[in-house]
Amino acid sequence: MSITVSDVSRRFGNTTALHPLSLEIKKGEMVGLLGPSGSGKTTLLRIIAGLEAPDSGSIHFGDRDVTHVHVRKRRVGFVFQHYALFRHMSVFENVAFGLRARPTSERPSNAEIRDRVQHLLERVRLDALAKRLPSQLSGGQQQRVALARALAVEPEVLLLDEPFGALDARVRLELRRWLRHLHEEFGFTSVFVTHDQEEALELSDRVVVMSNGKIEQIDTPQALYRAPANRFVFSFLGETNRFGGEYREGKLQQGNAWIAMAHSDIAPNEVLLRPHELMLTTAPDAKAHLPVTVDAVSPVGSDVRVELTADWMDTPWLASITHHDFDRLQPARGANFYLVPSRWHQFAPETS
């Protein structure tokens, strides 16, 4: 089922939660709505679900205009972070609930319900726990029940609002993979809300980046990361170091620091750099003079993250260096080095 959002807007009193925006989600696609708190992600999801009415615009599922169709008749499945399971019902009954609640004419037989629930519980690897109550499950297991419950009614559209928000990092990672597999097996169209960049980039076919009730960019994760449309998208998608200064004599300068570069009309006074685009060295380069002092070192992970300070910075910078360079340079707290950038980025200033 494709979803078409056309010129949808929504205000709450004086707050504009959504400026008129449009979005086309293809059948079978998995789309992540990504943005900072208050950017309008949940409002957009709730309007697609039918839990909230837009002030203007329309929502179509395929050719069907569902703008004024009640949530119960839209045949969407939900998984919300705080959309708790029924506490007094077993895992099995929680998953069966949506089927049993159907009007008699549409309700499957008890045997069919049993088979379908059984199959779903196997898919989420909870068949052994079918008789337990939700309180006897871990948080990750509960979210798997919530997903099975949403899928039991065979929705063509699955909507998820921060579904794994409350879980620890490892369980999150496991559930993400598992959601992706189910998505491919069942072929539904999914829209999920997250403020976690990594989650959006890993799960989505396309990501919708939002800020202040507007869509900043809609693209595949790769295209978003490689070709961000603007400064906001660049900054939001990954850690960013900022060098601000004045352009003089072929260099962008700030205090005793400078980077040699061609003049830029779009952003003459600023460049942005990712942590992995910086090299830590013991001597300055002919193209850049960026003296820094090591403030903290975190050698956990595939790279070593080094936090750096200097008088010429607005806020501390982050460089990520290889373990090999870390062993060679031994950057202890308080030690002085230079940074050599391999690449930088320039964008027009943000307007809002």
Point out which residues bind ligand ATP (CB under 6 A): 12, 15, 17, 35, 37-43, 195
> How far apart, in whole angstroms, are the C-alpha atoms of residue 99 and residue 6?
32
Q: What is the DSSP letter of 107?
A: P
Side chain identity at residue 152, one-letter code: A
Residue with tokens 């839209």: 74
Tokens linked to 282: 């013991």
What is the smallest separation between the CB atom of 56 and ligand ATP, expressed in angstroms?
Answer: 16
- H-type alpha helices, the chain: 41-49, 91-100, 110-123, 139-152, 169-186, 197-203, 221-226, 231-237, 323-329
Contact 234, 222 (CB under 8 A): no
What is the smallest separation between the CB atom of 57 and ligand ATP, expressed in angstroms?
Answer: 15
Smaller CB distance to ligand ATP: residue 51 or 137? 51
What is the smallest separation between the CB atom of 16 and ligand ATP, expressed in angstroms?
Answer: 8
Smaller CB distance to ligand ATP: residue 76 or 319? 76
Smaller CB distance to ligand ATP: residue 162 or 325? 162
What is the smallest separation between the CB atom of 194 and ligand ATP, expressed in angstroms?
Answer: 9
**DSSP per residue over 153-171, as a string?**
T--SEEEEESTTTTS-HHH
Smaller CB distance to ligand ATP: residue 44 or 290? 44
Smaller CB distance to ligand ATP: residue 2 or 9? 9
Smaller CB distance to ligand ATP: residue 54 or 341? 54
> How far apart, in whole angstroms, are the C-alpha atoms of residue 283 and residue 323?
20
Neighbour-count burial for 36-55, b at 16+ CB within 10 Å, e otherwise: eeebbbbbbbbbbbbbbebe
